[in-house]
Structure 1
Amino acid sequence: MGQSLPKPALRPFLPADTPMLAAIFVASVQELTGDDYSEAQQEAWAAVADEEESFGKKLASELTLIATLQGSPVGFASLKDNTEIDMLYVHPSVAGQGVGTLLCDALEKLAGARGAKSLTVDASDTAVDFFRKRGYAAQQRNSVTINGEWLANTTMKKAFADGGAQS
């Protein structure tokens, strides 16, 4: 008899989550972006979470949701100013299992319910296809410097029908 996989659940961010989310962020960058970014770029990007206190303050300053499996965090996403998906990271062990979709769906619904007409995201090269499949369209290419390394990303935008998020 087959056993069904546990379904991910969502909950709000709590300050005590910061160390676990920092670990998810680092693992996601180090293990999922190697096809698109050099090792030096990955190290600079992952180092954003080295200062846990400022990383936690950033998460707390935005609407941050955590995806959990059997109570343990496996991903997170944050909405900045109700207009931008600022962060969306999943642990490599659950990549491709719908956790990112669950988080993105929730942020889109929340933003739409709060009156947003669209959402933008500065998508890493690794995440562009994920967002494109969700209806986001590329607006512009960007080069950003993080800890002394240049990284490229793409600003993408999704307009909501009737001013609210679609499911």
Structure 2
Amino acid sequence: MIQLDDYRSEDANDLWSIYFHTIRHINIRDYSLDQVAAWAPDNIDPQRWRNKMESIKPFIAKIDGKPVGYADLQQDGLIYHFFCHHQFQSRGVGRALMTHIEQQAKQRGTSRLYSHVSITARPFYERMGFTVVKEQLIEVRQQHLKNFVMEKPL
């Protein structure tokens, strides 16, 4: 069973591990080694990561008390981070997180959700009812990565 919790500062290291390993093991299917290394570098500043997590306040999906995914919802409907542990893909973690995000957004009176979605995550977002607004190239540590601005009206 998937349990959803609010972020706590002690979750930061687990979330870094989910972020890093998902990008390195899953997103490598659609991006080059140089691109994933720029996106999830080996030498991240742990305090900077903790500050980022504190600022976005993600929801955390857990199975048997272990974090297996996380996602956030910003005030304007932006989903800034959305990651499922590379060993827990296709087990309902993403669906549970997205359902929770939609419920939270509706409670807040948010009229739409949107995100900057990787090539890899695009099919999941489409299954969740999002559509592509535009394709774009972003620069991350001198690497150019293709992604999609996707949205879903609520």
Shorter-chain TM range is over 0.9
**Identical-pair percentage:** 27
Match of 2:141 among 127, 130, 147: 147
Instruction: Give the length in aligned residue pairs.
Output: 154
Paired position in structure 2 for 1:102: 96
Q: 1:48 to 1:82 in 2, by over 3 A?
A: farther
Paired position in structure 1 for 2:85: 91
Residue 120 of structure 1 aligns to a residue in which SS? strand
Paired position in structure 2 for 1:156: 150
Residue 148 of structure 2 aligns to a residue in which SS? strand
Match of 1:13 among 7, 32, 40: 7
Paired position in structure 2 for 1:53: 47
Shift of 1:63: 3.4
Between the aligned partners of 2:93 and 2:43, the Cα distance in structure 1 is 21
Compute the RMSD of aligned alpha carbons.
1.3
Equivalent pair of 1:48/1:55 in contact (CA under 8 Å): no
| Structure 2 spans left out of the alignment, 5+ residues | none
Q: 1:18 to 1:11 in 2, by over 3 A?
A: same
The code of the aligned residue for 1:37 comes to: Y
Runs of 4+ in 1 over 3 A off after TM superposition: none
Normalization by structure 1: what TM-score?
0.88
Between the aligned partners of 1:150 and 1:61, the Cα distance in structure 2 is 25
Paired position in structure 1 for 2:112: 118
| Structure 1 spans left out of the alignment, 5+ residues | 1-6, 161-167
Query: Are residue 68 (structure 1) and residue 54 (structure 2) matched?
Result: no
Query: Are residue 44 (structure 1) and residue 38 (structure 2) matched?
Result: yes
Between the aligned partners of 2:57 and 2:124, the Cα distance in structure 1 is 21
Query: Are residue 28 (structure 1) and residue 22 (structure 2) matched?
Result: yes
Equivalent pair of 1:67/1:76 in contact (CA under 8 Å): yes
Between the aligned partners of 2:42 and 2:105, the Cα distance in structure 1 is 26
Deviations 1:6-32 (A, max 9, x none): x11010111111111101100000010
Q: 1:49 to 1:157 in 2, by over 3 A?
A: farther
Shift of 1:59: 1.6
Normalization by structure 2: what TM-score?
0.95
The code of the aligned residue for 1:45 comes to: W
Structure showing greater Rg? 1
